[in-house]
Structure formats: structure tokens, C-alpha cells
């Protein structure tokens, strides 16, 4: 019911028009049925009845057909521009709707799995239910004892990383830290849409405002190094081994300097 009420105006107009056309059609059928019952005289098949006279064909008949033509041309001359004018607004509405659904899904992926949220991936287990951060037991490589590894809050992550860096971090994880990789391209469980949902969700909960918010005000293309571990607890600092960047130096042949960085291109 609320869905019906929430329909946008153009959809409502189209619905009303559809219902009116349907009613008109029914009324027309009824009119036909009633007329048939009248006294029709001899039953001559339509194809064998005498046609209209030249007089009628050249004036009344022709003018009627042309009149309908003009009417339909006028209707489309109004209808098409009206559609066209409404289109940008419609697109914006659609985009807002899609993004808010995406945020909704993102918050489901973010929370832990539970009876109410069977599709949770449990970012909240480490990053906290409100993305407030925390810590998680972790045994760095080469160490014996687990330590309490600090987990950054994500409600202000846009103050540190822009969208692309957030995407890279979620997709690939952070080598040598508890942050796992989540993209199916990096042996994780999530597809690109799910990661986009998470990013939309994170952007929607930011406490960082204004220019400080790098997600909404991306830094102008300056070559920043890929985000590394924020807490330096790891011995033998891990070098980012992102498979996709391996192809960057391969174009030495001179023949194809194109940006083909796909891993399976050797």
C-alpha cells in the first residue's frame, strides 16, 4: 500500500490513463453489444454492403480521418516533449532510489550474520557494529603470541582514503594485517556489486564533512601510493603484491603500450 502511495507522479498519471483507456474499451464493447440487438434489417455481410458515396468519401470521411491524424500528431507533439522534459528528474530519482537500496544492502553485508540478518559478512566483528573500530586478536607472521591488533573505525574512513583506495582495501585486504581480501578476484567471497554496496554504505555513514571528506571530494589525480598498513606491527613490511599492477611494466615490447594490465596477459 505504501508502495502505491509512493509512486512518482508520472507513474500515477500513466496508471490513471491506463485505467481510463481500459474503462473506455469496456464501454465501447458494451455499446457495440447493445447496438447489435437493435433491428438491423436484412443480414448483409459488411463486405457486400454498398460503400459510401463519393460525396461522403471525399468530404466527411476524409475530413474525419485527417482530423484524427491532426489530433494524434498534436498528442505526440505534447506527449514526447513532456516525457523528455521529465526524464532528467526521473533519472535523478532513480539514481537516488538505487543508491539508497545499495546502502541498505551494504549495511546488511557489514553486520554479522544473525537470524534477522542472514546475509551478513561480519565486517562489524572487527570494525564494530557502528563502524566505530576496535581491536582483534592477531598473530603476526613469525610471532608466537597473538596481539590485540587495532582495527580502524570506518565511520571516518573518508577522512583518510578516497573511494578508490577504500575499494582497493576491501577488494584486496591488507597483507600482513587481519584485514582479509573480500573480492572474488582476490579469493574473497564478494562480487563487485556487493563491494560497491559496502562503499555506498560507508560513504553514507561518514562523520567527516566538507573538503576533508575525500570520498565526496576526491583529491585531484595526484599519484598517491596504494594504502599500506596503518599500524606498523608487522615484521618485514609487506610489499603490496596486487596482481593487477604486475602488468604495468610488461609493455616493454614497444608494439603495444596500451594499458593492458590484466593478470593473465603474459
Among residues 166, 196, 214, 215, the one that binds ligand HEC under rule CB under 6 A: 166
Among residues 132, 169, 204, 213, the one that binds ligand HEC under rule CB under 6 A: 169
Classify 128 in phi/psi space as left (phi over 0), alpha (psi -120 to 50) or beta: left
Binding range to ligand HEC, per CB under 6 A, among 86-94, 96-104, 162-170, 239-247: 162-170
Q: How far is CA 54 from the centre of its chain?
A: 61
| Cell numbers found for residue 176 | 600482513
Judged by CB under 6 A, does residue 174 bind ligand HEC?
Answer: yes
Judged by CB under 6 A, does residue 105 bind ligand HEC?
Answer: no
Among residues 162, 172, 182, 214, the one that binds ligand HEC under rule CB under 6 A: 182
Complex with ligand HEC: residue 67 or 189, whichever CB lies closer = 189
Complex with ligand HEC: residue 90 or 186, whichever CB lies closer = 186
| Cell numbers found for residue 144 | 608466537
Complex with ligand HEC: residue 24 or 235, whichever CB lies closer = 235
Classify residue 151 by its DSSP letter: E
Give, as ranges, the residues between 123 and 152 that touch ligand HEC (CB under 6 A). 123, 125-127, 136, 149, 151-152
Q: Using CB atoms, what's the residue nearest to ligand HEC?
A: 123
Q: Is the dihedral of CA 252, 258, 263, 266 positive or negative?
A: negative
Q: Which residues of 200-228 are buried (b: 16+ CB within 10 A; e: fewer)?
A: bbbbebbebeeeebbbeeeeeeeeeeebe
Q: Which helix (H) or strand (E) holds 3?
A: helix 2-5
**For residue 140, what are the CA distances in angstroms to 2, 26, 101, 144, 236?**
52, 76, 38, 8, 10
Cβ of residue 138: shortest distance to ligand HEC, in angstroms? 7
Judged by CB under 6 A, does residue 203 bind ligand HEC?
Answer: no
Judged by CB under 6 A, does residue 170 bind ligand HEC?
Answer: yes
Binding site for ligand HEC (CB under 6 A): 121-123, 125-127, 136, 149, 151-152, 154, 157, 160-161, 166, 169-170, 174, 177-179, 182, 198, 227, 229-231
Amino acid at each position: 500500500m505504501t508502495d502505491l502511495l509512493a509512486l512518482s507522479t508520472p507513474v500515477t498519471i500513466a496508471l490513471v490513463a491506463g485505467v481510463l483507456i481500459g474503462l473506455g474499451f469496456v464501454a465501447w464493447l458494451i455499446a457495440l453489444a447493445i447496438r447489435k440487438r437493435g433491428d438491423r434489417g436484412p443480414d448483409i455481410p459488411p463486405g457486400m454492403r454498398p460503400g459510401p458515396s463519393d460525396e461522403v468519401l471525399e468530404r466527411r470521411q476524409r475530413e474525419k480521418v485527417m482530423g484524427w491524424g491532426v489530433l494524434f500528431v498534436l498528442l505526440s507533439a505534447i506527449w514526447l516533449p513532456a516525457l523528455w522534459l521529465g526524464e532528467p528528474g526521473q533519472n535523478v530519482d532513480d539514481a537516488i532510489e538505487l543508491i539508497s537500496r545499495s546502502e541498505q544492502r551494504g549495511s546488511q553485508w557489514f553486520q554479522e550474520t544473525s537470524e534477522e540478518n542472514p546475509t551478513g559478512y561480519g565486517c562489524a566483528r572487527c570494525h564494530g557494529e557502528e563502524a566505530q573500530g576496535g581491536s582483534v586478536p592477531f598473530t603476526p607472521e613469525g610471532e608466537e603470541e597473538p596481539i590485540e591488533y587495532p582495527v580502524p573505525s570506518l565511520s571516518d574512513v573518508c577522512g583518510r582514503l578516497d573511494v578508490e583506495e577504500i575499494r582497493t582495501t576491501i577488494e584486496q585486504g591488507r597483507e600482513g594485517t587481519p584485514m582479509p581480501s573480500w573480492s572474488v578476484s582476490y579469493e574473497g567471497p564478494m562480487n563487485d556489486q556487493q563491494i560497491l554496496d559496502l562503499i555506498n554504505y560507508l560513504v553514507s555513514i561518514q562523520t567527516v564533512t566538507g573538503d576533508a571528506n575525500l570520498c565526496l571530494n576526491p583529491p585531484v589525480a595526484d599519484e598517491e601510493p596504494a594504502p599500506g598498513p596503518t599500524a606498523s606491527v608487522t615484521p618485514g613490511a609487506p610489499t603490496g603484491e596486487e596482481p593487477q599492477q604486475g602488468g604495468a611494466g610488461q609493455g616493454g615490447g614497444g608494439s603495444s603500450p596500451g594499458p593492458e594490465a590484466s593478470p593473465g596477459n603474459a
